[in-house]
Amino acid sequence: MRRRLAILGNGPAAGRLLDDLATRGGLGAFDVAVYGEEPHGNYNRILVGRVVTGAGVDEITTKPADWYATRGVTFHRGVKVERLDPAARRLVTSTGEEHPYDTAVFATGSAAAVPPVDGLRQPDGSPRGGVHVFRTAADCEAIRGRSRPGASAVVVGGGLLGLEAAKALSDIGLHVTVLHRGETLMNAQLDRFGGGLLRRAIEGVGVFVRTGTTAAEVIGNGKVEAVRLDAGGVLPADLVVFACGVVPRVEAAKASGVPVGRGILVNDRLATAVPGVYAVGECAEHAGVVYGLVAPIWEQAAVLADVLTGANPQARYRGSKMYARLKVAGVEVASMGRVEPEFDSDEVVQVFEDRRGVYRKLIVRDGRLVGAMLVGCTAAAPGLVQLFDRGDPLPPNRLDVLATAGGSAADPEVCNCHRVTESALVAAVRGGCSTLPMLADATRAGTGCGSCRGRLAGLIAEHAPGVPTRTT
C-alpha cells in the first residue's frame, strides 16, 4: 500500500515540490493529496500583477486542474486545512472533513502584511471599501474590479510587490502614488544609488513616489476617500493597496502543536519536531531565517523531495545565498549577497552609466564576490551568480566580470531561477520545443520570475528557423 502524502498549500513551494517528487518517482510511490485554498491550480505568483491589467488566471497558471488528475494527484481545491492530529495522523479541513495521512508537508506560504493603520475598517467592523492587499489572484481580481481610469490609487510599499502593483495600476490608467517608509526603493536589494535609479525609471512611466513616509490613516465615509500620511499631509485616493511585506502562514501549524517561531521551525531535513511533519517555502524557518525569494524555495523543495523519496537520504538543506534577478516595472534588476560593504577591507566597485540608466556594483572580500547589484542591465548576472555561488576568485581587473559575465560566456545561465543554461535550452529547442510553453515544460525555464522569457523566444527563433515563435 502506498504511503499517503498530504501537501498543505498549493503555492510556489508546493508546485515545485510536486515537480521534484515527479522527477524522483515520488508521485508513483506516494498517494499524494494537495490541499489548496484557492479555486485554481498552481499559478506563477510572481506574474500575478498581470491579472490587474486584465489577464485571466489561466494565463499565469502552471498546473491546471488536469495536471493533477493525469499524474494521480488528488487535488482538493478551495479547501483549507485547519489543523493536523499528529497522533492519529489525520488532518481536519475548514469544512469539518477529516483525511488520513502518513506524511504531511506544510507549504502554506505567506500572507500579506498589513501595518496598523487607522481607518481600515468601518465603525461596525466591516472592511472599508477600496482597501486591498496585493498578494493572490483573487486580490488582483478585486483590485481590477475597483479600478477606473482616471481614479487615484495609493500603494503602500516600495518593494518589489508594491512597485509591481503600482505599475499595473498605472498601466490601466490610474493616477498612482507609492508610499515607502524607507528612503530607498527596494532597500532590501538595492543601495541608495540603485534605488535612486529605479525611482527615476518608475517616475518616468508616470508613477509618483514618496519616500520617508507611509500611511497613518485611511479616511472615508463607507469607502476610501483619502490617505493621511505619517509625515503630514493628505492624499486623495479612491483605492489603497497594501503591498508592504508578507508574514509566514503558521496558524495551522500552531493549531497542530508544531513548534513555530516567526515561521514553522525545521531542521536541515526540512523536518519539524513532530514526526512525519515537514515544512517548505515561505512558511518555514530554517536556522533563524525565513526566505521569501524563489531560489531558496527551489533548493528546499529539492532537498525535501530527496528525503521523502529516498533518492538521497543524506540530502540536507544548509541555507541559501540570497540573490534575485527580475524585472521591476519594466526595469531589469539583479541583486545578490550584501548590499553594502561590511568591513573596511571590503572592496567596492561601482559603475555608473547615467544616460543609459545603468548602475552596477560589486562588493569583493578577499578577492571573492560577496555582493552585487545590477540596475538597468543584467546581462552580467548569470556569470556573477556562478561566481557568487562557487566563491571562485575574481580576476585582478574586477571590471572583467561585468564585461565577460565572469568568464561563463561559453555556457551562461539563461534562467537563474531554475539554473537552466543556454546549451540545455538550445538542445531542447533542437529537440522539438518550438514554442515557449513547450520549452518551459521541458526545462522549467521562464516559469520563475519570467524575466528570461524574451531570451527564450530569441533562442527559439535562432535555433528553430522557419517555425513561428508563439508566446502563449
Task: Calculate the average pLDDT of the chain.
Answer: 92
Q: Give 394-424 pLDDT, tens digit per residue.
A: 999 999 998 754 444 567 778 867 778 889 9
**Rounded distance between C-alpha atoms, residue 313 and residue 109, angstroms:** 25
Strands 331-337, 347-353: pairing is: unpaired
User: What pLDDT does 450 receive?
Assistant: 66
Model confidence at 59: pLDDT above 80: yes
Q: Report all structural domains of the chain as residue ranges with CATH numbers, in order of start.
A: 3-110+247-309 (3.50.50.60), 131-244 (3.50.50.60), 323-409 (3.30.390.30), 415-463 (1.10.10.1100)
From residue 460, alpha-carbon distances to 422, 438, 466 in Å are: 11, 11, 10
User: What pLDDT does 416 receive?
Assistant: 67
Helix, strand, or coil (residue 244)? coil
Phi, psi angles (nearest 5°) of residue 297: -65, -45
Grid cell 476617500 — which residue? 225
Kind and range of the H or E run holding 215: strand 215-219
422-430 vs 453-463: helix crossing angle, rounded to 10: 50
Q: Provide the β-strand partners of residue 415.
A: 420
Side-chain half-sphere exposure of 316, counting CA atoms within 13 A = 5
Span 431-460, average pLDDT: 79
Model confidence at 468: pLDDT above 60: no
First to last CA, the chain: 41
Alpha carbon 91 to chain centroid, angstroms: 28
- Percent with pLDDT over 90 in the chain: 75
Model confidence at 446: pLDDT above 90: no
From residue 57, alpha-carbon distances to 26, 167, 187 in Å are: 28, 19, 30
Q: Give 90-137 pLDDT, tens digit per residue.
A: 999 998 999 999 999 999 999 999 999 999 988 877 789 999 999 999
Q: How many residues does the chain have?
A: 472
**Rounded distance between C-alpha atoms, residue 302 and residue 4, angstroms:** 19
Cell numbers for 171:
498601466
Span 242-265, average pLDDT: 97
Longest Cα–Cα distance of the chain, Å, equals: 66
User: What pLDDT does 226 receive?
Assistant: 97
User: What pLDDT does 449 receive?
Assistant: 64
Confidence of residue 143 (pLDDT cuts 50, 70, 90): very high
From residue 409, alpha-carbon distances to 26, 381, 402 in Å are: 36, 11, 11
- Percent with pLDDT over 70 in the chain: 95
Q: Which residue has the higher pLDDT, 3 or 404?
A: 3
User: What pLDDT does 79 receive?
Assistant: 96
Model confidence at 298: pLDDT above 90: yes
Q: Give 317-366 pLDDT, tens digit per residue.
A: 999 988 888 888 788 999 999 999 999 999 999 999 988 999 999 999 99
User: What pLDDT does 465 receive?
Assistant: 52
Model confidence at 288: pLDDT above 90: yes
Supply the DSSP symbol for 371: E
Q: Are 149 and 173 in contact (CB under 8 A)?
A: yes
Cell numbers for 142:
478585486
The closest alpha carbon to 17, from 70, 73, 57, 58, belongs to: 73
The closest alpha carbon to 165, from 210, 196, 193, 202, belongs to: 202
Q: Give 17-55 pLDDT, tens digit per residue.
A: 999 999 999 999 999 999 999 999 999 988 899 999 999
